[in-house]
Amino acid sequence: MTLPNGLTRRALLMKLGILFNGFIALVLAVPIVRYLLSPISREKKGAYDAWVALGNLEQFPSGQTRLATYRNPVVNPWDGDTGDIPCWVRNVDGQNFQVFAINCAHLGCPVRWFPQSSLFMCPCHGGAYYQDGSRASGPPERGLFEYHYKIDGGKLLIKASEMPTPGQTSNIVREIRQCV
C-alpha cells in the first residue's frame, strides 16, 4: 500500500516506531537527568543549616589561634575520615572569634598557622594570610573563608556544611575584615 505522497505503509510504520522510541527515550531521560543532577537539586536544608559544635570555649584561649575539627553535618556512613573537617579558630579578644576554613582561597590546599610570625601559609603555591584572615601575599585573590559562628552554652558553634571554594561561599562570611 502506498500513500498519495509516495510513502509506503511499512516506511510509515517504521517512522512511527522511531518516533515512539524517541518519545520513550525522552520520558526515560527525565528521571535519569533528574538523578544525575541530584547533588545540585537536593534541598539544602536540615543538616545544611545545622550549627556544629567545635568544642568548649576553654579550648580556644584568648589571643590565640587553634586548630579545631568537626564532623561535617552532611555525611554518608561510608565517608570515613573524609567527613572530619579541620578549621582554624581565632579567639580575638575573649569575646570575639573568627573561624577560618582550612582551605586556601586560591585552590583549596590546607593552610597552616604560624603563631610566631602570625601568618597563615599555604604549602601549595605560597599564599599567605595575616592573623585576621586577610590576604598578605601570594596568588590568592581574597582573604581566608570565614564561617559564621555563635556561642551557646559555653560552646563555640559554626555553620559549615560545604567545602568553601572561590565561587561557592553560601555558608561563609562574605566581608573581608580589615586588620584587627
Partner 1 sequence: MRLIKSIGEWLDERLQIGEVIKETVEHSVPRETASWFYVFGSAAFVVFMLQIVTGIMLAFIYVPSAGEAWNSLQTLNHQVALGWFIRALHGWGSDFMVAIVLIHMVQVFLFGAYKYPRELTWIVGVFLLIVTLGMAFTGQVLRFDQDAYWGLGIGASIASRVPVIGPFIVNLMLGGPIIAGATLSRFFALHVFVVPGLLIAFVSVHLLMVIKLGINEWPMPGRVVRKATYLKEYHELTKKDGIPFVPGAVWKDLFFGGFILLSIAACALYFGPFGPSGPPDPTIIQTAPRPDFFFLWLYAVLSFLPPSMETPALLIGPVVGILALLLLPFVFGEGEKSWRRRPVAVLTILFVAVVLGTFTRLAEHTPWSPVMDAWSGIPIPSQFLHHRTALERQGALVFQVKQCHNCHSLDNQGGKRGPTLDAVAVRLTPDQLIRQVIQGGGNMPAYGKNLSPAETTALVAFLETLHPAGQSPARDAARAIALGSDTAAPASGHP
**Calpha distance 75→82 (Å, rounded):** 9
**Calpha distance 27→25 (Å, rounded):** 5
Tell me how far, at minimum, the Cβ of 109 lies from partner 1, in Å.
Answer: 6
Q: Which is nearer to partner 1, 22 or 110 (CB)?
A: 110
Q: Where on the chain is the footprint of partner 1 (CB under 8 A)?
A: 37, 39-40, 44, 48, 67, 69, 72, 74-76, 78-86, 102-103, 106-112, 114, 116-119, 121, 123-126, 128, 130, 136-141, 161-163, 165-168, 170, 179
Q: What is the DSSP string of 136-154?
A: EESS-SS---EEEEEEETT
Tell me how far, at minimum, the Cβ of 74 lies from partner 1, in Å.
Answer: 5
φ, ψ of residue 139 in degrees (nearest 5): -70, -15
User: Whose grid coordinates read 525522552?
Assistant: 26
Tell me how far, at minimum, the Cβ of 59 lies from partner 1, in Å.
Answer: 15
Q: Which is nearer to partner 1, 11 or 180 (CB)?
A: 180
Burial of 18-52, coded b for 16+ CB within 10 Å and e otherwise, reads eeeeeeeeeeeeeeeeeeeeeeeeeeeeeebeebb
Q: Which is nearer to partner 1, 17 or 110 (CB)?
A: 110
Tell me how far, at minimum, the Cβ of 102 lies from partner 1, in Å.
Answer: 6
3-state secondary structure at position 62: coil
Tell me how far, at minimum, the Cβ of 18 lies from partner 1, in Å.
Answer: 23
Q: Which is nearer to partner 1, 77 or 153 (CB)?
A: 77
Q: Which is nearer to partner 1, 21 or 82 (CB)?
A: 82
Among positive and negative, which fits the CA dihedral 165, 170, 171, 177? Answer: positive
